[in-house]
Structure 1
Amino acid sequence: MCLILFAYQVHPVYKLIVAANRDEFYQRPTLPAQYWEDQPEILAGRDLEKMGTWMGVTKTGRFAALTNYRNPKEITDGKRSRGELVANALAFEGHVSDYMQTLVENKHQYPGYNILSGDINELFYYSNVGGELRKLEPGIYGVSNHFLDTDWPKVNKGKEGLAEIVLGDEERLGSGLVEKLLVLLQNAEPAPDEFLPHTGVSLEMERMLSPLFIRSEQYGTRSSTVMFMSDDEIQYVERVFSRNGVKDGEFRIKM
């Protein structure tokens, strides 16, 4: 998952609204969002290479999502798969803060990451690179492949778009929010060179990775996910894509 935009306790009905893109190599085998056969309380996509996930929710309202921290010089040999962090967060039976504390204690076991986990009442953020475990206040946030709310073009554009959509929902019924958020997530306009971050990859790669929605032959946005969570309902919509951003299916689930 390379971009997570979310509005936490901002909308009067939907206390958690998430709009996220997962970017990955097209050749990596993946299952779309569904209830897991081995853990039927979990609704999520699944990475079939490591059997973890990048984002999901449970029937009881536990949410978790993750992005990688981009550092091409990082040595990852011998480290565990980051996808298990989200799966474990969703399966954890205790309080979410206790789970997040275990991540702090074991931060060196995984390559660099950002993780969100919680529900409509408490939401936590942690990066094993930044090192600070935060309980989030109400607000509109964005995280890509650096830290939470880093001043990257795609994060700023995403947060501005999310705020306009969520705060402009005057009827307070969520009408049309899903489609508006999916349109936002499919914005493929690259950032101007002068605003590109410098993360240790080539300029050409920075350009390719700069839009909210990434298209290329080998790597790109594999799925766009929108989730709404209120006191008594969860809506989960996932749109999946194949090479060069061609739509390949859509899944809509309510619980």
Structure 2
Amino acid sequence: MCIAVFMWQANPKYPFLLLHNRDEFYARPTEALAWWEGEAILGGRDAVGGGTWLGSTRDGRIAFVTNFREVENLPHPKTRGDLPLRFLQSNKSPQEFAEEVLKEAHEYNGFNLVLADICTSTMVYVFNRSNDDNPSVAQVTPGIHVLTNAALDTPWPKAERLRHDFKELIDNYGQSEFPIKEMVEKLMTNTVKDEVCMLPGIQPPEREQPLSSIFVETELSSGHYGTRSSSALFVKSNKEVTFYEKYLHQKDWNDKMVTYKICERL
């Protein structure tokens, strides 16, 4: 289902900070963080659908997606992992690509999509399950935001726990360097679950409660399911990007870190 917390244009040293957990069935083949062959895209890859949940490019584009929790799914939907990938492959601005997505949003199961261009300080949010069933696009405002499996900044308890702990950690570090691995360990491994009365009530509590922690590990009817990777993507004001991923490979946790400098587009 996934969860992400990010800070946008609210820190003089770090114009963008992102922490992201990807939740998926353990049996689904996945490729770890890497530069994709023949492309300038950095991210993990869903080996089934071919897309990604989080990726970035050398020219300053970033995109990530989470699923939207709903009662029913489409019988033959397009894969949501294609949305971040297509943006990263394109030359479109976040707004232009978002408007393109709106035209086909009904062909996907529920999603939250965030698109950013560091070079133009632009970030938009695309959502295809609004109250009036019309997909929408919004500019993301400066500050701290949390994305779970509802609309951006919906105050689910797990989202509020993550927001609070993220802000506290940011305040504690002040003007010093943010330790990327330490922040992942402190914030994205939390296994606290909600009481039944705190659940959103979209699906039965026996399904929702195991998913109510920031770090997920549970057994669903379709198989073993949980947090397969925890990622962090930090962009400094000098355009240096650090992309870190801690990922589950078979039964062992491994990690990888890639650092690069954003190349301004001509």
Is 2:200 the counterpart of 1:193? no
How many residues get paired?
Answer: 249
Distance (whole Å) between structure 2 residues aligned to residue 242 and residue 30 of structure 1: 9
Aligned 8 A contact 2:184 2:230 in 1: no
What TM-score, normalized by structure 1, do the two folds share?
0.93
Post-superposition CA distance 1:11-62 (Å, at most 9, x none): 22111100010000000000011000142x1001000101001011111110
Is 2:250 the counterpart of 1:252? no
Aligned 8 A contact 1:33 1:45 in 2: yes
The answer for the alignment partner of 1:71 in structure 2 is 70
Distance (whole Å) between structure 2 residues aligned to residue 155 and residue 73 of structure 1: 23
The answer for the alignment partner of 1:21 in structure 2 is 21
Cα distance, 1:247 vs structure 2: 4.8
User: What is the percentage of aligned positions where both structures have the same residue?
Assistant: 31
Distance (whole Å) between structure 2 residues aligned to residue 247 and residue 12 of structure 1: 37
Q: Tell me, which stretches of 5 or more residues in structure 1 are unaligned?
A: none
Distance (whole Å) between structure 2 residues aligned to residue 192 and residue 12 of structure 1: 38
Aligned 8 A contact 1:2 1:21 in 2: yes
Say which of 203, 206, 224 aligns to 2:205.
203
Distance (whole Å) between structure 1 residues aligned to residue 199 and residue 111 of structure 2: 21
The answer for the alignment partner of 2:79 in structure 1 is 81
The answer for the alignment partner of 2:151 in structure 1 is 147
Distance 1:192 1:61, change over 3 A: same
Is 2:233 the counterpart of 1:233? no
Q: Tell me, which stretches of 5 or more residues in structure 2 are unaligned?
A: 261-266
What TM-score, normalized by structure 2, do the two folds share?
0.89
Three-state SS of the structure 1 residue aligned to 2:226 is strand
Cα distance, 1:191 vs structure 2: 1.3
Aligned 8 A contact 2:180 2:244 in 1: no
Distance (whole Å) between structure 1 residues aligned to residue 171 and residue 206 of structure 2: 35
Cα distance, 1:159 vs structure 2: 0.9
The answer for the alignment partner of 1:134 in structure 2 is 138
Amino acid at match of 1:214: V
Amino acid at match of 1:47: D
Amino acid at match of 1:195: M
RMSD: 1.5
Aligned 8 A contact 1:79 1:110 in 2: yes
Amino acid at match of 2:235: M
Distance (whole Å) between structure 2 residues aligned to residue 70 and residue 249 of structure 1: 29
